[in-house]
Structure 1
Amino acid sequence: MQKPDAHSDLAYNAADFCSTKDAARLLGVSHRTVQLWVENGALQAWKTAGGHRRITMASVRKLVDERREITGMPAAAAPEQKKLLLVDDDRTLLRLYELEIAGWNLPLEVVKAHDGFEALLRIGEQRPDILVSDLSMPGMDGFRMIRTLRADPACASMAIVVVSGLDRPTIDSMGLPADIPVFPKPVPFTELRAAVEEAIGASAAAR
């Protein structure tokens, strides 16, 4: 969408537009999700001279209405946003995760890490509600990271989902806790979404 013509500045109201931060708050999603929706055309926006996006309130309201019809929730009952940490050393796969999850219309803020050590740093900064992780990674692998988390009382109940190219006998022999769901690669996104939705529901019930 093009920026309104300078000669028509008096013809539009600034209230017709909002920042990406405001759009994220109104929609109950992360700032990155709003950026992705702008890029794929779900939200209409233009850039200021300083490079900041301004999103049309009409497209925000339209998306709110569409999401309300899908979920059956009233507009005032926006779900509490959950933090999901993705851990994989494959940057291309992390990007694929991010694009796929952005289309799920779930109340998720996505954070990424490239190995177990970086993941523990992110968890130390702010504990995520859900962890989706690979197992075979350089440095600290997923097995060691998960054992570290399960040994920490503050993180022992964190929802964990594993996506790995390793076969199940190998995974079992490495001592992964049996209660952690494991999905193969290539990632079965339909099953992964169901597991994430179940984790969101369990987190809400626990509160």
Structure 2
Amino acid sequence: MRKSATNDDVLSTREAAERLGVALRTVQLWVESGVLPAWKTAGGHRRISRTAVERLIEERRNALAGEGRTEPEGDGSLFKVMVVEDEPQLLQLLIMVIKGWELPLEVSGARDGFDALLQMGRSCPDLLITDLNMPGMDGFKMIASLRAQGPAFGAMDIVVVTALSESEIAQRGGLPEGVRVFHKPVPYDHIEQLVRDRLGGLAAAA
């Protein structure tokens, strides 16, 4: 990795991306959403503390070591579904149920918005199913960050499954237009129909 010419304890966004193993735009997204604290030099260049980057790597290492993440099957032709849920048992149940639909899907899981964005830096899902109340980066911040990127994540369908009421969601700033909201307990039948409809639309367009 290239070192900063002025301070080994400070990284540019590109150096941080190399260290984290993600795309430059992903690091920029994390900076804009507050995941990575950064400041600007007199010349307008962003700088990130090496300590903050190493801390994020350690947090992600701990999260990815848990049971919540499933490895993708690696078939690029499959419809990609990512489930984001901080409760490990519910995350595992969601993944198990979705795989049980026996559809051409690649299913992955993440414990929070940090983990999800890290994975999206490598492979963007077609459908994101996420909780809202999560530690670290919650669903509100993650969705707002994704939608703010425009075309980069614009084709991704986002489905929220939450215990929050409509008024509670509104009190916390609401959600972007086009995000579909389901309330817990998880309505598996409705989500399955949504996925089947999306797959049917793709097949018709092929």
- 1:169 equivalent to 2:167? Answer yes
Which residues of structure 2 form unaligned runs of 5+? 1-71
Distance 2:132 2:198 in 1: 20
Letter in 1 for 2:165: D
- 1:103 equivalent to 2:84? Answer no
Residues 1:202 and 1:121: Cα distance change in structure 2 (over 3 Å): farther
Judge conservation of contact 1:84–1:130 (CA < 8 Å) in 2. yes
Letter in 2 for 1:143: F
Comparing 87-96 and 176-185, the one that deviates more: 176-185
Q: How does 1:123-142 map to 2 (within 5 A)?
A: 123-142=120-139
Q: How does 1:183-198 map to 2 (within 5 A)?
A: 183-198=182-197
- 1:112 equivalent to 2:112? Answer no
What percentage of aligned pairs have identical amino acids? 47
Match of 1:26? none
Distance 1:161 1:203 in 2: 18
Letter in 1 for 2:103: L
CA deviation digits over 1:146-167, x for unaligned, max 9? 0111011210221111100100
Judge conservation of contact 1:130–1:199 (CA < 8 Å) in 2. no
Q: How does 1:56-135 map to 2 (within 5 A)?
A: 80-135=77-132
What is the Cα deviation at residue 203 of structure 1?
4.8
What is the Cα deviation at residue 195 of structure 1?
1.7
Distance 2:177 2:202 in 1: 20
Letter in 2 for 1:194: Q
Distance 1:184 1:141 in 2: 16
What is the Cα deviation at residue 83 of structure 1?
1.1
Residues 1:202 and 1:119: Cα distance change in structure 2 (over 3 Å): farther
What is the Cα deviation at residue 204 of structure 1?
5.0
What is the Cα deviation at residue 198 of structure 1?
2.6
Judge conservation of contact 1:161–1:195 (CA < 8 Å) in 2. no
Which residues of structure 1 form unaligned runs of 5+? 1-29, 33-79
Distance 2:114 2:97 in 1: 25
What is the Cα deviation at residue 120 of structure 1?
0.6
Judge conservation of contact 1:129–1:203 (CA < 8 Å) in 2. no
Distance 1:206 1:100 in 2: 27
Count, aligned residues: 132
Distance 1:172 1:205 in 2: 36
Superposition RMSD in Å: 2.2
